Chains A and B, each alone.
Chain A
C-alpha cells in the first residue's frame, strides 16, 4: 500500500511514472526509478531469496545496499542488490536460490 495521506510528506505519486515488471512470471506494478525491493514490498512480496548454506528465506533487512539480504536475479544477472537497484519498465525479477547462477534459473 502507498502512503497517499501522510501528515508530513507528499510523495506526488500522480507525477511519477507507473511501470510494469515481471516477478517470477507474474506481472506487477511499481514506480519508475524506485528500488525494485520497495516495489516488491508494495506488492506484498516479502521473501526475496534463499540463504546459501542453511536454505532459509530472506527478505529486506538494511535497504541501503549493505547487508546482501535482498540479492535477486534481475534481467538474468544474479546477486543484484534490489534495495538500491532502480526499477525499469519490463524488468524481469526472479527469486534467487542460494548463490544464484548466471543462467538465471
Chain B
C-alpha cells in the first residue's frame, strides 16, 4: 500500500520550505522529503544578514529565516521526512523514495521539485586531493555542526559565495590566505569584498590555481596570473602554504529527478546549466509537476523562496480551487516581489536566462 498526499515536495531548502508555507495556507496533507539530517538546505548555513526589502527578510540572518519558516509550518498539515532520497518519478502520480527501511511508493496529486544545485568543480592538478572542499561543505562543517573546518584556506572564486564564506571562515577562526579569481573583476557585492579587504585578505583577480600538492592531503597551492585571454602567464607562479583549498566557482542545477520524470530540459547558460522548462507559475511541461529554487536556475535564496511560494500557491489552487481573486492577488504579490528582487545589475544574468527559458518554451 502506498501513502497518499496532496502535495509532495522534494527538498527542504528555502524553495521547498517556502512552497510548503504557502501551500499549507490553503491545503493539507503535504509531504517534504530531504536527504539531509536537518531541514533548511543551504539556508540554515547562512550566518550573514540578507539583503533586499523587508518582504525578502532583509537584515535577517539566513539561519534565522530558516527557523522562521520551520516554526511557521503546521505539523498537522506538513509532514517532514529527513534522511530520505527521492529516487524516481513515474507519471502521473508516483514518487519512489528511499529511507533506512527501504523503498516506498508515494502517491501525490502535485509534486514540487526543489532539489537545489551542486557545487562546481574546476580543472587543476590534484583537484581530487582531500582538502579540496566545496564552499558549501565548509559551511556545513562550521555553521551546522560547529567543526572548525581548516586552519589555512585559499578561496577560489570571488563571487558572493566565495566572499561570504571567506568571512564566515574568519568568524570560525580560520586564516584566509587569499581569494583568487580568474576574471579581472570581483563578481560579488563590493560590500562583501570590502569587508575582507579591511581584514587584510588579499583578493587576487586575474589569478587562478595551477594545482594543489601534498602527501594524502593539501599542503600547498601554486597560483598563477592569467592574461587577457585567460591564458596562464609563465613566471608568475606563487606558492601558498594552506591545508584547504575552498572552491566557490558556481553551482549547477540538480535536475536529475526532473529529467528522469520526463520534464523538458534545456541548457541555459545564464541559469548555470541544464534546467527544466517551466511557466510563470513554475509548472513544468508535465501537468502537476513544479520546479522551484536553484533547480530551476541558479540564483540565490530570496529568489528561491519566492519561486517556492509561487509553486506552492499554484499547486494548492489547482487542488482546492479556492477563491480566484485571493489566488490572483497572492500571485500578483509574489510576481511583483520576484520582479523587484531581480532588478539591479547583479541579477541581469538570471533574468535574461529566465526570459530565454520562457520564450523557448513557447
Contact = CB atoms under 8 A, between A and B. Distances in A.
Contact of B130 (A13, A34, A48, A83): A48
Contact of B142 (A3, A59, A86): A3
Interface string A3-35: 110111101010000000000000000010111
A60 B133 contact: yes
A33 B254 CA distance: 26
Interface string A34-59: 11001001100011100100001111
B131 interface: yes
Determine the main DSSP class of A at the interface with B. loop
Given A2-B147, A61-B121, 20 more contacts: A3-B142, A3-B147, A3-B148, A6-B146, A8-B171, A9-B47, A13-B146, A34-B145, A46-B130, A46-B131, A47-B217, A48-B130, A59-B217, A63-B141, A64-B36, A64-B136, A65-B35, A67-B118, A67-B134, A84-B36
Interface in B156-180: 171-173
A1 B140 CA distance: 15
A86 B36 CA distance: 9
Interface in B134-154: 134, 136-137, 140-143, 145-149
Interface of A: 1-4, 6-9, 11, 13, 31, 33-35, 38, 41-42, 46-48, 51, 56-67, 69, 83-84, 86
Given A62-B118, A63-B140, A35 B217 contact: no
> Across chains A and B, which 3 residue pairs bring their CB atoms closest together, nearest first?
A59-B130, A63-B137, A11-B146
Contact-size category for B: 35 or more
B136 A33 contact: no
A37 B72 CA distance: 31
B121 to A, nearest CB: 8
10 contacts: A11-B146, A56-B128, A59-B130, A59-B217, A60-B130, A60-B141, A62-B137, A64-B36, A65-B36, A67-B134
A51 B217 contact: no
B216 interface: yes
B132 interface: yes
Interface string B32-63: 00011100001000010000000000000101
B143 A1 contact: no
A104 to B, nearest CB: 18
Contacts of B286: none
B175 to A, nearest CB: 13
B129 interface: yes
Contact of A62 (B63, B83, B128, B134): B134
B133 A8 contact: no
Interface of B: 35-37, 42, 47, 61, 63, 83, 85, 118-119, 121, 128-134, 136-137, 140-143, 145-149, 171-173, 216-217, 254
A41 B146 CA distance: 11
Nearest to A12: B146
Contacts of A63: 133-134, 136-137, 140-141
A83 B147 contact: no
B35 A1 contact: no
Nearest to B150: A41
Contacts of A64: 35-36, 42, 118, 136-137, 140
Nearest to B42: A64
A59 B134 contact: no
B312 to A, nearest CB: 23
A87 B254 CA distance: 27
A66 B134 CA distance: 12
B147 A84 contact: no
A84 B132 contact: no
Given A3-B146, A13-B146, A84-B83, A33 B37 contact: yes
Contacts of A62: 118-119, 134, 136-137
A58 B131 CA distance: 9
Contact of B47 (A8, A46, A86): A8
Contacts of A1: 147-148
Contacts of B217: 46-47, 57, 59
A8 B45 CA distance: 11
B122 to A, nearest CB: 13
Contact of A57 (B85, B130, B146): B130
Contact of B145 (A7, A35, A56): A35
